[in-house]
């Protein structure tokens, strides 16, 4: 191409713009980039060079023009041509059934639905961000506005243009006017990263991803917004004018004042979303689903509830929409919400409450964990009174103080945690928390607390002298994955340790029905059961016994591998680090930890005492012949009947291994519903993929 060759430059510029926007889509929408950052940057640079040589060819839709250089003085007001409504809420099954009944009755009596048919719905995630309306004219993004009061919002066009997943130019076939409605949000992980960076710079931290997204969009300087990791999903539309004739690519102009329903190209909400996707807009296709009747809605709700803790972003519910647009029209609106749609909410994952005190818990390995004592609060579906504060550094980083009002988070089955203080509500006399001052020594045993340089965790140095460590050690040993002693739970262990009846694991095996029957909350019957369970635990597998000893860094899988390799306890006790390193998957930290453990005379004494009590581990079950020995499995998605834990334990029992990531060495990927990138990787690497039935067959479970 010759310099100054305008048509050549125009063609090259057009080509680069399309290519760059395709990469934006792959990166920001599909999460599957197909070029490296360097290649992407090179394309951008080339476009910038061409545009500075031909400034007359610069258009507002060029990817180089996403970030404006001049801050605004204030946001203008935008009146929505079609109001932005809200949704009616449901909090339980009954309300969902009532909604479905109202819809069904109305549609049947209007003839939209046969007397025996059930309505078809489209189900979506209720994204916890902020609603935005994007206005495209002749395919170009001309305006973006917040919801505001539903009638009038703020003009945030300059900021919205910085969001890479939002097309500045729609694909061919766009109508003359198209208002796209959707949600702007921030991924949780990126929110946390943003907050950490904000805190480091001494700037404002945000309480949750929604506030971070809203705060980022309310920046008067779009250069700041451009640095915030915002995303967008479209879920609806407002004004639509003059739909394109999709065969000819020409616009068929409607008569002035005629709009939408009559001229919509598709007859259903889901088909409309497909069309928006074809125009280049990001739609949450991975999770959206069709469903029929109330049972279909409730099944969607239950499935998404399981998925919720694994999503990259926060949702506060799901949304059900009657799919047929003519049916939506019949149903109409009530007050400011449609009768054809419903938000079904999940229990909030975050709530605020008073932080009454900070105490510490001593774990099995002596780790000191600060725990927040809270004014009871209902969050994540349960009443929470305690929440973890992780460690001393976390308390300092979050600057959480006794007396603060704090945000508590409980997502899925995860332990509740304190997210941070609500600074506006801080009492004037709240002092920074000083862990060393409040807990100079272990509050359980009075031993010194040590915190090695460079480590986040402070530890009680009391070892098994510390009652807290002893209790946790015993509970660990009695656990299901270790010696599996049913009935030896917290209440009993507390009493055994407090009466000093049990000093080490071996003492458990000397317990009698007579003495246990006299303990609190124990009768003869339960005492007999516990003693029987203890008896059964005299012949654990070697791997379980090794795991029960609670050696640092030795999980159940490592314990099993080591047991298989050495075959008996004496060999393990006498193994040097080098020999331990011969076990597949055992690295230096694990080898050193096992070696150090058995170098301690009192640990060897425990093993000897166990022998004297008649504890004789049996050899680890060899992998079945022709079985799964050494084969690595990767699980992804939700299986129809097996939980992830169940599938894992079946595979382990058959001699296989389970790993979290797919590589060429993976033998099988077991994929269920909503399998993600692991499935894609398996396909790329040619790793065989099984469904649940396939797995069961392989395991001989069928």
Is the distance from CB of 603 to CB of 612 less than 8 angstroms?
no
Q: How far apart are the first and last CA of the chain?
A: 67
Judged by CB, which is closer to ligand IVH: 28, or 233? Answer: 233
Residues of span 133-152 touching ligand IVH by CB under 6 A = 147
Is the distance from CB of 204 to CB of 250 less than 8 angstroms?
no
The span from the CA of 283 to the CA of 286, in Å, is: 8
345 is in an annotated binding site: yes
Is the distance from CB of 366 to CB of 445 less than 8 angstroms?
no
Judged by CB, which is closer to ligand IVH: 182, or 370? Answer: 182
CA distances from 329 to 112, 262, 268 (A): 10, 11, 11
Stretch that binds ligand IVH, among 124-132, 214-222, 366-374, 613-621 (CB under 6 A): 124-132
| HSE-up of residue 123 (Cα within 13 Å, Cβ side) | 24
Please give the full DSSP string across 59-102, using - where no structure is assigned.
Answer: -TTSGGGSS-SS--SSPPEEE-SS------EE-SHHHHHHHHHH
> What is the contact mask toward ligand IVH in residues 316 to 335, using x (rule: CB under 6 A)?
---x----------------
Provide the minimum distance between the beta carbon of 379 and ligand IVH in the complex, in angstroms, as a whole number. 20
**Considering only residues 9, 13, 29, 131, which one is a binding residue for ligand IVH as defined by CB under 6 A?**
131
Provide the minimum distance between the beta carbon of 292 and ligand IVH in the complex, in angstroms, as a whole number. 19
What tokens does 237 get? 């539309």
CA distances from 47 to 42, 52, 225, 226, 484 (A): 9, 9, 23, 19, 65
In 100-229, DSSP assigns E strands to: 120-127, 130-137, 140-146, 152-154, 177-186
**Considering only residues 13, 158, 186, 341, which one is a binding residue for ligand IVH as defined by CB under 6 A?**
341
Provide the minimum distance between the beta carbon of 317 and ligand IVH in the complex, in angstroms, as a whole number. 8
The secondary element (H helix, E strand) that includes residue 421 is strand 417-421
Judged by CB, which is closer to ligand IVH: 135, or 544? Answer: 135
The one catalytic residue among 2, 6, 101, 126: 126
The span from the CA of 370 to the CA of 457, in Å, is: 10
The span from the CA of 385 to the CA of 571, in Å, is: 47
What tokens does 250 get? 């020409």
124 is in an annotated binding site: yes
Q: Which of 513, 463, 471 is nearest to 492 (CA)?
A: 471
The span from the CA of 617 to the CA of 572, in Å, is: 13
349 is in an annotated binding site: no
What tokens does 135 get? 């206005």
Please give the full DSSP string across 288-310, using - where no structure is assigned.
Answer: -EEEEHHHHHHHHHHHHHHHGGG
**Considering only residues 23, 126, 410, 476, which one is a binding residue for ligand IVH as defined by CB under 6 A?**
126
H-type helices in 71-187, by residue range? 93-109, 157-160
Judged by CB, which is closer to ligand IVH: 336, or 532? Answer: 336
Residue 276 touches ligand IVH, criterion: CB under 6 A? no
How are beta strands 689-690 and 668-671 bridged, if at all? parallel
Provide the minimum distance between the beta carbon of 345 and ligand IVH in the complex, in angstroms, as a whole number. 9
What tokens does 445 get? 């045993």
Judged by CB, which is closer to ligand IVH: 124, or 349? Answer: 124
101 is in an annotated binding site: no
Judged by CB, which is closer to ligand IVH: 341, or 511? Answer: 341
**Considering only residues 21, 120, 124, 349, which one is a binding residue for ligand IVH as defined by CB under 6 A?**
124
Provide the minimum distance between the beta carbon of 130 and ligand IVH in the complex, in angstroms, as a whole number. 6
Please give the full DSSP string across 312-380, using - where no structure is assigned.
Answer: SS-EEEEEEEESBHHHHHHH-EETTEETTEEEEEPPPSEEEEEEEEEEEEE-TT-BEEEEEEEEEEEET
37 is in an annotated binding site: yes
Residues of span 45-104 touching ligand IVH by CB under 6 A = 85-87
Stretch that binds ligand IVH, among 31-39, 336-344, 450-458, 469-477 (CB under 6 A): 336-344
Residue 291 touches ligand IVH, criterion: CB under 6 A? no
Judged by CB, which is closer to ligand IVH: 126, or 241? Answer: 126
Residue 307 touches ligand IVH, criterion: CB under 6 A? no
Provide the minimum distance between the beta carbon of 341 and ligand IVH in the complex, in angstroms, as a whole number. 6
Contacts (Cβ under 8 Å, ≥6 apart) of 224: 216
Stretch that binds ligand IVH, among 98-106, 126-134, 220-228, 488-496 (CB under 6 A): 126-134
Judged by CB, which is closer to ligand IVH: 40, or 275? Answer: 275
Provide the minimum distance between the beta carbon of 131 and ligand IVH in the complex, in angstroms, as a whole number. 3
Judged by CB, which is closer to ligand IVH: 343, or 408? Answer: 343
Residues touching ligand IVH: how many (CB under 6 A)?
A: 15
Residues of span 226-255 touching ligand IVH by CB under 6 A = 235-236
Residue 184 φ/ψ, nearest 5 degrees: -100, 130
Residue of minimal Cβ distance to ligand IVH: 131
145 is in an annotated binding site: no
Residues of span 164-193 touching ligand IVH by CB under 6 A = 183
Other C-beta atoms lying within 10 Å of the C-beta of residue 305: 16
Provide the minimum distance between the beta carbon of 533 and ligand IVH in the complex, in angstroms, as a whole number. 50
Provide the minimum distance between the beta carbon of 677 and ligand IVH in the complex, in angstroms, as a whole number. 23
Active site residue 126: yes
Catalytic residue positions, numbered: 126
Q: Given the rule CB under 6 A, which residues bind ligand IVH?
A: 85-87, 124, 126-127, 131, 147, 183, 235-236, 319, 338, 341, 343
Binding site residue list for Zn(2+): 442, 445, 466
Binding site residue list for NAD(+): 37-41, 86-87, 124, 147, 183, 321, 345
């Amino acid at each position: 191409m010759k310099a100054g060759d305008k048509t050549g430059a125009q063609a090259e510029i057009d080509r680069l713009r399309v290519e760059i926007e395709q990469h934006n889509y792959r990166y920001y929408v599909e999460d599957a980039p197909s070029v490296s950052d360097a290649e992407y940057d090179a394309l951008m640079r080339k476009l910038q060079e061409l545009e500075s040589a031909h400034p007359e060819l610069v258009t507002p839709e060029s990817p180089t023009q996403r970030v404006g250089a001049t801050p605004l003085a204030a946001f203008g007001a935008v009146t929505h041509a079609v109001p932005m409504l809200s949704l009616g809420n449901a909090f339980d099954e009954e309300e969902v059934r009532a909604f479905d009944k109202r819809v069904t009755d109305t549609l049947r009596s209007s003839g939209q639905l046969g007397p025996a048919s059930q309505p078809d719905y489209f189900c979506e995630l209720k994204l916890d961000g902020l609603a935005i309306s994007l206005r495209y004219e002749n395919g170009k993004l001309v305006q973006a506005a917040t919801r505001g009061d539903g009638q009038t919002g703020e003009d945030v066009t300059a900021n919205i243009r910085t969001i890479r997943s939002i097309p500045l130019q729609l694909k061919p076939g766009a109508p003359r006017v198209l208002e796209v409605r959707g949600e702007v949000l921030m991924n949780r992980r990126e929110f946390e990263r943003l907050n950490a960076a904000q805190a480091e710079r001494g700037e404002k931290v945000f309480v949750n991803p929604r506030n971070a997204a809203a705060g980022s969009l309310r920046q008067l300087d779009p250069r700041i917004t451009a640095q915030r990791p915002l995303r967008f999903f479209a879920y609806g539309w407002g004004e639509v004018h003059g739909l394109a004739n999709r065969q000819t690519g020409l616009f068929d102009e409607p008569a002035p004042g005629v709009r939408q329903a009559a001229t919509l190209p598709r007859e259903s909400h889901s088909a409309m979303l497909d069309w928006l996707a074809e125009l280049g807009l990001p739609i949450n296709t991975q999770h959206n689903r069709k469903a029929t009747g109330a049972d279909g809605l409730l099944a969607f709700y239950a499935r998404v509830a399981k998925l919720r803790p694994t999503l990259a972003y926060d949702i506060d519910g799901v949304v059900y929409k009657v799919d047929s647009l003519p049916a939506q029209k019949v149903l109409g609106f009530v007050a400011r919400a449609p009768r054809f749609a419903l938000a079904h909410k999940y229990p909030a994952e975050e709530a605020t409450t008073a932080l009454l005190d900070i105490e510490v818990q001593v774990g099995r390995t002596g780790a000191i964990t600060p725990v927040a004592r809270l004014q009871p609060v209902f969050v994540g579906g349960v009443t929470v009174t305690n929440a973890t504060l992780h460690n001393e550094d976390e308390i300092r980083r979050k600057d959480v103080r006794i007396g603060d009002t704090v945000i508590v988070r409980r997502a899925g089955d995860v332990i509740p945690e304190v997210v941070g203080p609500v600074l506006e509500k801080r009492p004037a006399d709240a002092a920074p928390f000083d862990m060393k001052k409040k807990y100079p020594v272990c509050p359980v045993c009075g031993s010194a607390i040590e915190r090695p340089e460079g480590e986040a965790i402070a530890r009680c140095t009391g070892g098994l002298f510390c009652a807290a460590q002893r209790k946790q050690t015993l509970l660990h040993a009695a656990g299901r994955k270790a010696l599996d002693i049913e009935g030896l739970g917290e209440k009993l262990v507390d009493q055994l340790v407090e009466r000093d009846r049990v000093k080490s694991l071996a003492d458990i095996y000397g317990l009698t029905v007579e003495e246990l029957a006299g303990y609190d909350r124990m009768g003869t019957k339960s005492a007999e059961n516990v003693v029987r369970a203890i008896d059964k635990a005299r012949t654990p597998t070697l791997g379980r016994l090794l795991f029960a000893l609670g050696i640092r860094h030795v999980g159940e899988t490592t314990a099993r591998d080591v047991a298989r390799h050495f075959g008996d306890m004496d060999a393990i006790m006498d193994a040097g680090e080098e020999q331990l390193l011969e076990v597949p998957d055992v690295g230096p930290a694990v080898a050193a930890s096992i070696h150090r453990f058995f170098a301690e005379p009192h640990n060897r004494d425990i093993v000897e005492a166990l022998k004297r009590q008649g504890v004789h581990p049996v050899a680890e079950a060899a992998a079945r012949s022709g079985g799964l020995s050494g084969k690595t499995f990767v699980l992804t998605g939700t299986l129809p009947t097996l939980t992830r834990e169940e599938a894992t334990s079946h595979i382990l029992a058959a001699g296989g291994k389970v790993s979290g990531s797919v590589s060429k060495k993976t033998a099988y990927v077991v994929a269920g519903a909503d399998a993600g990138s692991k499935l894609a990787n398996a396909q790329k690497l040619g790793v065989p993929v099984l469904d649940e039935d396939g797995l069961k067959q392989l395991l001989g479970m069928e």
